[in-house]
Amino acid sequence: MEFPGLLFVISGPSGVGKGTLCKHLVNCEDNLHYSVSMTTRKPRAGEVNGKDYIFVDRESFLDKASAHEFVEWAEVYDNYYGTPWSELEAALVKGKDIILEIDTQGALQVKQKYPAAISVFILPPCEEELKARIKGRGSESPETMEKRLANLENELKVICEYDYAIINDSLEDALDKLKAIYTAEKCRTWRTLS
């Protein structure tokens, strides 16, 4: 079963620029909407509850997971993150395109449950630049930054499961590539004719 809306899944190491790219893409494309995940992570300065994430405590997250309210969920860097299913499904049924920015564990769960999902892995130009970007964002303590960098190798192991890969060197070029993928997927014959 395929929904009229397109489900886009974006993953990549912490600090590679997923959030930046997704925000730009959503701003450029009228029918593309961002799915707001639920997390037990504490909000960063400037993050808004309900917009960046739905921030909850561990107990209520696990209650929702037991009640199968997530299409996928995973423990990432010592916190839980999950994609609520009901609103997402309602949007896809209506023909809205949705973008999920989730980790590799979650992306594989989505692909298994919904193979029509289009997955894109974002790569850094090199490890040094990735470190510089996480540091530049200023959101992580030295300890959480180490944890995020240490996960890089693990995440790269599953890159071949993704449909597309983009190196985010120049932001402009990477965004052009992401837009090209979105446009091409929208032009699939059955989508164009239905």
What residues make contact with ligand ADP under the rule CB under 6 A? 12, 14-20, 133, 136-137, 168, 171, 174
Q: How far is the CB of 129 from ligand 5GP (least distance, A)?
A: 17
CB atoms within 10 A of CB 4: 12
Task: Select 171 or 184, whichever has its Cβ closest to ligand 5GP.
Answer: 171
Closest CB 76 distance from ligand 5GP, rounded Å:
4
Q: Looking at beta carbons only, is 7 or 76 nearer to ligand 5GP?
A: 76
- Closest contact distance (angstroms) between CB of 175 and ligand ADP is 9
Q: Assess 81 for contact with ligand 5GP (CB under 6 A).
A: yes
> What residues between 109 and 128 interact with ligand 5GP by CB under 6 A?
none
